Structure 1
Amino acid sequence: MDSPIQLLENTDQATKQMLENVRKRKKKFEDTKRWHYFSVYGTLLFAFFFFAYFYFTIAEHYSYSFLAMLSAALNNTINVLLLSLTIIGFGAMNLLKQQKEKKEKEFQELRCEIVDRSKDLWKREEEWKNRHIVFEIMKKQYDINLYHEKK
């Protein structure tokens, strides 16, 4: 368990575990989001190289006939490699987008559950009065807003 969460006072162990789980889900979501952006920019980079290479090596020289251009494009291994990398990048980009959305949904559901159950998690009056300290720590340390259900 992360040390700032472990050191929280006026919070029972089950609540600390829920806070730790929401922190882990946030980290997984952020990591997947970062990989998604890498895949988007990588795909765009490969697509740029593919189109530039295609234009300068094939389209300029074989522009008189579509079939000649297609034949030259398929016979050029660098062209086929760049096209393959672009297509694979596009597939990876879509797959990572789905994973990002799934992890964001899981994170938001758990965060909203903590917001909904805050009366149950901090039952005693002294815990209830000091819960804002827990909320502030989660906001400052991990950028997790537990004050409201809305993003």
Structure 2
Amino acid sequence: MASIERDSNGIKEYHEVIIEALIEAKQKEEKAEKTMMKWGLLFLGILAAGIIYIVLKLMSGESVSSYLSLLLSDIIIVVWLAVLFFCFYYFDVKSKKYEKAEKDFEELKEDVIDRASDIWNSNQLEVKRISQYHELKNKYDINLYHK
């Protein structure tokens, strides 16, 4: 938020703490999504490069008695397989981290929506709530108007 209001003791108001928690959860979700996408694209790129290499190797005209022996005799293919498994593992880890961040954000968002009347419990705060909802929607893409 542009300015965080504090009471006379310098302590943040409850609704401001909730808004900050929502923003942090959304940013954590977005960061996890970007990381997951990077690992996914890296995995697909390495997969495509390896498939192209294997196709070119097969088209080179070498006689192949066994595809397994072709795969295991070429050090490039063995390294490619190891890197491919490593990238898939990290993509899976990052995917689970993203799912957890997304779930945490959605739970917090639903909790805020359900408890909105308790959080913004005065007429003055009710007016502020509408402006905060609008700012969250426009600035952070957090929609608190509905679940």
Same fold by TM-score, threshold 0.5 exceeded?
yes
Secondary structure of the corresponding residue to residue 70 of structure 1: helix
Secondary structure of the corresponding residue to residue 130 of structure 1: helix
In the alignment, which residue of structure 2 is the partner of 1:48?
48
Contact 1:26–1:107 at 8 Å: present in 2 too?
A: yes
Contact 2:5–2:13 at 8 Å: present in 1 too?
A: no
In the alignment, which residue of structure 2 is the partner of 1:141?
139
Root mean square deviation of aligned Cα: 2.1
Q: How many residues align structurally?
A: 143
Corresponding position: 1:124 with 2:133: no
The amino acid of 1:56's aligned partner reads L
Contact 1:135–1:147 at 8 Å: present in 2 too?
A: yes
TM-score by length of 1: 0.84
In the alignment, which residue of structure 2 is the partner of 1:26?
26
Q: For the structure 1 residues 59 and 95, does the alpha-carbon distance in structure 2 shift closer, same or farther, using more than 3 Å as the test?
A: farther
Question: Hey, what's the Cα distance between the residues in 1 that align with 2:63 and 2:47?
Answer: 20
Structure 1 residues without counterparts, runs of 5 or longer: none
Q: 1:93 is matched with which residue: 91, 101, 114?
A: 91
Q: Deviations over 1:74-107 (max 9, x none)?
A: 2222211111111111121222111111110000
TM-score by length of 2: 0.86
The amino acid of 1:128's aligned partner reads E
Q: Deviations over 1:43-75 (max 9, x none)?
A: 111001111112222564445422xx3223222
Structure 2 residues without counterparts, runs of 5 or longer: 7-11
